[in-house]
Amino acid sequence: MPGILDRYILSMFCRMLVVTFASMSGLIVVVQLFSNLEELTSTGWWTLVDFFGPRILQYFDHIGPMVVLLAAIFAITNLIRTNELTAIMAAGISKGRVVKPLVWAALAVSMLGVINRECWIPQFREKLIRNAQNWDGSQPKTLRPTYDYHTDVYLGGQQTVAVERAILNPNFRLPTSGAFGDFGHQLLGARAVNLPATAVHPAGYLVEQVHVPQDLAELASIEMQGETVIICPRDAPWLAPDQCFLVSDVSFEQLAGGTQWRQLASTREIMASLRNPSLQLGNDARVQLHARILQPGLDLTLFMLGIPLVLSRDQRNIFVAAGMSVGLVAVFFVVVILCHALGANYILSPAFAAWLPLLIFVPAAYATAAPLWR
């Protein structure tokens, strides 16, 4: 009996999950499609698949917890409305036993969300950063200057071109003292291309058509604390006379994408960026790291808060149940965002700011859900 019941409830939940996610994500797709119809269809209809495919994964990451809660509530509401829950309880099966397969299903979807954040979304990061107006990445984008804390070089420039991983009119400001004294205070060129580390050179930027300093071909490479920072053509045959190479661990994605890049990064990449001496990220990145690890716990807590709303009231109206769920989700995420903001602004420690929503909501979830299992 329980096995048949579990399969029945899970099949209903899966149908509700698919319909709810398709409805909510479809609404977002329709709004974005009509806002950017000309740009997305100018290069062929396949661009729509290329544009919205990765974004479906992003939508699932954003609205997944709410979709799971709504699907479970819709399934329970349907059982109540058709009096099936009454018949199940008359057979001696408690409400907690009815909810049990839904809890496992919610946990499975939460684990799928972890795989989505850690494996799938980072693979499509470049497509998710680009908008419809610059889908191919060929149009220049304004550059937000970034400081390389390891080399003390201020990485600036006019614009970036994503498809070329290039900076137009780079303006790299160098330290005014130390090893950079003979080189000057600025490194100006027509273009700088980000290159990964190879056997010939470390990661950094190949600056082309250098016009400051003017005597580049005569200058020696710059070293700082035993590490090469600027490679000049006099010491590197692979460089043209008007080229030099600036060593930097600030990648093009981090330079051009800013905080948006970090939102689409995996936990491993966030940890690597926190260990990167060139970046020195703030507390917001540390809060994000802790929150990423605790996300499955937050998802399950939200689920356990929402289920008793329907079961304790025997709610039969699916629209009222949906409204109650949306209200709960709004309060939940406002508290989470507020706690994370306190951590990002150095009012709370990053770890405590990430844990605080659980400390607030887990006792409430236990108090409301515990009667279901009696």
Rounded to an integer, what distance in angstroms lies between the CA atom of residue 207 and that of residue 192?
A: 4
Is 263 contained in some domain? Answer: no
pLDDT of 276: 93
Note whether 48 and 117 are same-domain residues.
Answer: yes
What predicted TM-score, i.e. pTM, was given to this entire model?
A: 0.87
Identify whether residues 17 and 126 lie together within a single domain: yes
Question: What pLDDT is recorded for position 164?
Answer: 93
Q: Are residues 80 and 190 in the same domain?
A: no
Residue 274 lies in a domain: no
The reply to whether 270 falls in a domain is no
pLDDT at 315: 59
138 falls within a domain:
no
User: Per-residue pLDDT for the chain (374 aa), expressed as one digit of tens each?
Assistant: 468 889 999 999 999 999 999 999 999 999 998 888 887 777 777 888 889 999 999 999 999 999 999 999 999 888 888 889 889 888 888 888 889 999 999 999 999 999 999 999 999 998 898 888 888 888 899 998 999 999 999 999 999 999 999 999 999 999 876 667 778 889 999 999 999 999 999 999 999 999 999 888 888 898 888 889 999 999 999 999 999 999 999 999 898 887 788 899 999 999 999 999 999 888 999 999 999 999 999 999 999 999 888 887 665 677 777 788 889 999 999 999 999 999 999 999 999 999 999 999 999 999 988 877 76
**Contact at 8 Å (CB) between 64 and 113?**
yes
Beta strands in 39-161 (DSSP E): 141-142, 146-148, 153-156, 159-161
Residue 226 domain flag: yes
Q: Alpha-carbon distance 296 to 134, whole Å?
A: 34
Q: Do both 72 and 173 map to the same domain?
A: no
Q: Are residues 149 and 119 in the same domain?
A: no
Residue 181, helix vs strand vs coil:
coil
Residue 353 φ then ψ, to 5°:
-65, -35
Report yes or no on 272 lying in a domain: no
Burial of 130 (0-12, 13-18, 19+ CB in 10 A): middle
From 197, 224, 257, give the residue that closes a domain.
257
Number of domains in the chain: 2
187's enclosing H/E stretch is strand 186-188
Q: How many CB atoms lie within 10 A of CB 288?
A: 23
- Domain end position, chosen among 225, 257, 289: 257
Single-letter amino acid code for the residue at 81 = R
The per-residue pLDDT for 322 is 76
Do 24 and 114 lie in one domain? The reply is: yes
Q: 203 with 250, same domain?
A: yes
Q: Structural domain of residue 356, as residue ranges?
A: 2-132+281-373
Q: Is residue 267 part of a domain?
A: no
In a 13 Å sphere around the CA of 361, the CA atoms on its Cβ side amount to 24
**Domain boundary at 217, 242, 257, which?**
257
Q: Would you say residue 99 lies in a domain?
A: yes
Q: 171 - beta bridge partners?
A: 156, 188
Burial class (CB in 10 A: 0-12, 13-18, 19+), 218: exposed
Beta-carbon neighbour count of residue 124 at 10 Å? 16
Q: Are residues 75 and 169 in the same domain?
A: no
Asked if 63 and 180 sit in the same domain, the reply is: no
**String of DSSP letters for 135-149:** TTS-S-EE---EEET
DSSP-derived 3-state class of residue 209:
coil
pLDDT number for residue 2: 63
187 and 125, same structural domain? no
Return the axis-axis angle of helices 283-311 and 350-369, rounded to nearest 10°: 10
Kindly state whether residues 247 and 289 are assigned to the same domain. no
Residues 124 and 149 in one domain: no
